[in-house]
Protein backbone atom coordinates (compact mmCIF):
# COMPACT_ATOMS: atom_id res chain seq x y z
CA UNK A 1 0.00 0.00 0.00
CA UNK A 2 1.34 3.41 -0.96
CA UNK A 3 2.19 6.19 1.47
CA UNK A 4 0.42 9.39 0.49
CA UNK A 5 0.75 12.96 1.68
CA UNK A 6 -1.23 16.10 0.93
CA UNK A 7 -0.37 19.73 0.43
CA UNK A 8 -2.71 22.72 0.24
CA UNK A 9 -2.38 26.18 -1.21
CA UNK A 10 -4.87 29.04 -1.50
CA UNK A 11 -4.83 31.67 -4.23
CA UNK A 12 -7.19 34.64 -4.49
CA UNK A 13 -8.01 35.73 -8.03
CA UNK A 14 -10.08 38.37 -9.81
CA UNK A 15 -13.29 37.06 -11.41
CA UNK A 16 -16.37 35.11 -10.40
CA UNK A 17 -16.51 31.39 -9.68
CA UNK A 18 -18.26 30.46 -12.94
CA UNK A 19 -15.47 32.00 -15.03
CA UNK A 20 -12.76 30.33 -12.97
CA UNK A 21 -14.48 26.96 -13.00
CA UNK A 22 -14.07 26.87 -16.77
CA UNK A 23 -10.49 28.24 -16.62
CA UNK A 24 -9.43 25.66 -14.04
CA UNK A 25 -11.05 22.83 -16.01
CA UNK A 26 -9.23 23.87 -19.19
CA UNK A 27 -5.93 24.38 -17.35
CA UNK A 28 -5.97 20.86 -15.93
CA UNK A 29 -6.60 19.40 -19.37
CA UNK A 30 -3.80 21.47 -20.93
CA UNK A 31 -1.34 20.65 -18.12
CA UNK A 32 -1.56 16.91 -18.76
CA UNK A 33 -3.95 15.83 -16.01
CA UNK A 34 -6.16 12.84 -16.77
CA UNK A 35 -9.70 11.96 -15.66
CA UNK A 36 -10.57 15.63 -15.17
CA UNK A 37 -13.98 15.87 -13.51
CA UNK A 38 -15.74 19.21 -13.12
CA UNK A 39 -18.46 19.31 -10.44
CA UNK A 40 -20.18 22.59 -11.30
CA UNK A 41 -22.76 22.31 -8.50
CA UNK A 42 -20.00 21.97 -5.87
CA UNK A 43 -17.54 24.30 -7.67
CA UNK A 44 -14.88 21.57 -7.58
CA UNK A 45 -12.50 20.27 -10.23
CA UNK A 46 -10.56 17.02 -9.79
CA UNK A 47 -7.82 15.50 -11.89
CA UNK A 48 -5.19 12.76 -11.80
CA UNK A 49 -1.51 13.30 -12.52
CA UNK A 50 0.17 10.00 -13.23
CA UNK A 51 3.66 10.04 -14.68
CA UNK A 52 6.63 7.71 -14.22
CA UNK A 53 8.03 9.50 -11.15
CA UNK A 54 4.87 11.18 -9.81
CA UNK A 55 1.58 9.51 -9.04
CA UNK A 56 -1.07 11.75 -7.51
CA UNK A 57 -4.20 13.84 -7.87
CA UNK A 58 -5.39 17.40 -7.46
CA UNK A 59 -8.62 18.87 -6.10
CA UNK A 60 -9.45 22.54 -6.63
CA UNK A 61 -12.36 24.08 -4.73
CA UNK A 62 -13.59 27.51 -5.78
CA UNK A 63 -14.92 29.70 -2.96
CA UNK A 64 -16.25 33.28 -3.24
CA UNK A 65 -13.91 35.79 -1.61
CA UNK A 66 -14.93 39.10 -0.07
CA UNK A 67 -18.28 40.86 -0.19
CA UNK A 68 -18.56 41.13 -3.95
CA UNK A 69 -18.78 38.24 -6.40
CA UNK A 70 -15.82 39.46 -8.47
CA UNK A 71 -13.17 37.65 -6.42
CA UNK A 72 -12.62 33.94 -6.04
CA UNK A 73 -10.39 31.90 -3.77
CA UNK A 74 -8.88 28.76 -5.30
CA UNK A 75 -8.22 26.13 -2.63
CA UNK A 76 -5.75 23.76 -4.28
CA UNK A 77 -5.15 20.39 -2.63
CA UNK A 78 -2.65 17.92 -4.02
CA UNK A 79 -2.31 14.34 -2.76
CA UNK A 80 0.56 12.19 -4.02
CA UNK A 81 2.53 9.03 -3.33
CA UNK A 82 5.74 9.76 -1.44
CA UNK A 83 7.08 6.23 -1.06
CA UNK A 84 9.48 6.28 -4.01
CA UNK A 85 13.08 7.37 -4.42
CA UNK A 86 12.15 10.38 -6.58
CA UNK A 87 10.15 11.93 -3.72
CA UNK A 88 13.38 12.36 -1.76
CA UNK A 89 14.69 14.88 -4.29
CA UNK A 90 11.57 16.87 -5.13
CA UNK A 91 8.16 17.04 -3.48
CA UNK A 92 5.57 15.40 -5.75
CA UNK A 93 2.82 17.59 -4.28
CA UNK A 94 4.71 20.78 -5.14
CA UNK A 95 5.29 19.46 -8.64
CA UNK A 96 1.59 18.76 -9.16
CA UNK A 97 0.55 22.20 -7.88
CA UNK A 98 3.24 23.94 -9.95
CA UNK A 99 2.11 22.01 -13.05
CA UNK A 100 -1.41 23.37 -12.55
CA UNK A 101 -0.21 26.91 -11.81
CA UNK A 102 1.99 26.92 -14.90
CA UNK A 103 -1.08 26.24 -17.07
CA UNK A 104 -2.70 29.45 -15.75
CA UNK A 105 -0.72 32.68 -15.96
CA UNK A 106 -0.77 33.89 -12.34
CA UNK A 107 1.86 36.59 -12.93
CA UNK A 108 -0.90 39.09 -13.78
CA UNK A 109 -2.60 38.41 -10.46
CA UNK A 110 0.15 39.62 -8.08
CA UNK A 111 -1.73 42.86 -7.31
CA UNK A 112 -4.72 40.96 -5.94
CA UNK A 113 -2.52 38.60 -3.92
CA UNK A 114 -0.75 41.47 -2.17
CA UNK A 115 -4.12 43.13 -1.57
CA UNK A 116 -5.35 39.93 0.12
CA UNK A 117 -2.27 39.82 2.34
CA UNK A 118 -2.87 43.44 3.39
CA UNK A 119 -6.51 42.64 4.30
CA UNK A 120 -5.40 39.66 6.39
CA UNK A 121 -2.69 41.74 8.11
CA UNK A 122 -5.22 44.47 8.90
CA UNK A 123 -7.61 41.90 10.38
CA UNK A 124 -4.78 40.53 12.53
CA UNK A 125 -3.80 43.98 13.84
CA UNK A 126 -7.45 44.83 14.56
CA UNK A 127 -7.69 41.75 16.78
CA UNK A 128 -4.48 42.67 18.59
CA UNK A 129 -5.76 46.20 19.19
CA UNK A 130 -8.98 44.88 20.71
CA UNK A 131 -7.00 42.37 22.85
CA UNK A 132 -8.77 39.39 21.27
CA UNK A 133 -6.55 36.33 21.22
CA UNK A 134 -6.38 34.41 17.95
CA UNK A 135 -5.65 31.09 19.72
CA UNK A 136 -7.38 29.72 22.82
CA UNK A 137 -4.83 29.42 25.66
CA UNK A 138 -6.70 26.42 27.10
CA UNK A 139 -7.21 24.05 24.14
CA UNK A 140 -4.84 25.76 21.62
CA UNK A 141 -7.51 25.81 18.89
CA UNK A 142 -7.90 28.83 16.58
CA UNK A 143 -10.38 31.57 17.46
CA UNK A 144 -11.74 31.90 13.92
CA UNK A 145 -14.86 33.84 14.90
CA UNK A 146 -12.83 36.25 17.07
CA UNK A 147 -15.09 35.78 20.10
CA UNK A 148 -14.28 36.23 23.78
CA UNK A 149 -15.39 32.64 24.46
CA UNK A 150 -13.73 29.63 22.78
CA UNK A 151 -15.97 27.89 20.27
CA UNK A 152 -14.14 24.60 20.92
CA UNK A 153 -13.83 24.23 24.71
CA UNK A 154 -16.18 27.00 25.96
CA UNK A 155 -13.60 28.69 28.20
CA UNK A 156 -13.16 32.45 28.26
CA UNK A 157 -10.41 33.87 26.06
CA UNK A 158 -8.87 36.86 27.80
- Quote helix, strand, coil % in the chain, to nearest 5: 35, 30, 35
Residue-level pLDDT at 135? 73
Residue 90 backbone dihedrals phi, psi, to 5 degrees:
-150, 135
C-beta neighbour count of 7 within 10 angstroms: 16
H or E segment and range at residue 17: helix 17-30
Structure confidence by residue, pLDDT tens digits, 62-121: 998 877 778 888 999 999 888 877 667 878 888 899 889 888 866 555 444 444 444 444
- The model carries a pTM of 0.65
Q: What distance in Å separates the CA atoms of residue 103 and residue 26, rounded to the nearest whole number?
A: 9
**What domains are defined for the chain?**
4-104 (3.30.530.20)
Q: What distance in Å separates the CA atoms of residue 102 and residue 11, rounded to the nearest whole number?
A: 14
C-alpha distances in Å from residue 155, one per residue of 17, 81, 134, 144: 38, 41, 14, 15
Residue 8, beta-bridge partner list: 77
C-alpha distances in Å from residue 129, one per residue of 76, 124, 126: 32, 9, 5
Residue-wise burial string across 51-73, b where 16 or more C-beta atoms lie within 10 A, e elsewhere: eeebbbbbbbbbeebeeeeebbb
Structure confidence by residue, pLDDT tens digits, 3-29: 888 888 888 888 888 889 999 999 999
C-beta neighbour count of 4 within 10 angstroms: 15
Amino acid sequence: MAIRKSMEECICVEGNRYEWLQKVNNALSVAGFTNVVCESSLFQVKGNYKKVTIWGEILIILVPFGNDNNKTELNIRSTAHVDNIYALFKSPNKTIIEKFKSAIDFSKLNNLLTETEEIMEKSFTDCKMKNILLICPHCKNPNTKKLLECEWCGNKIC
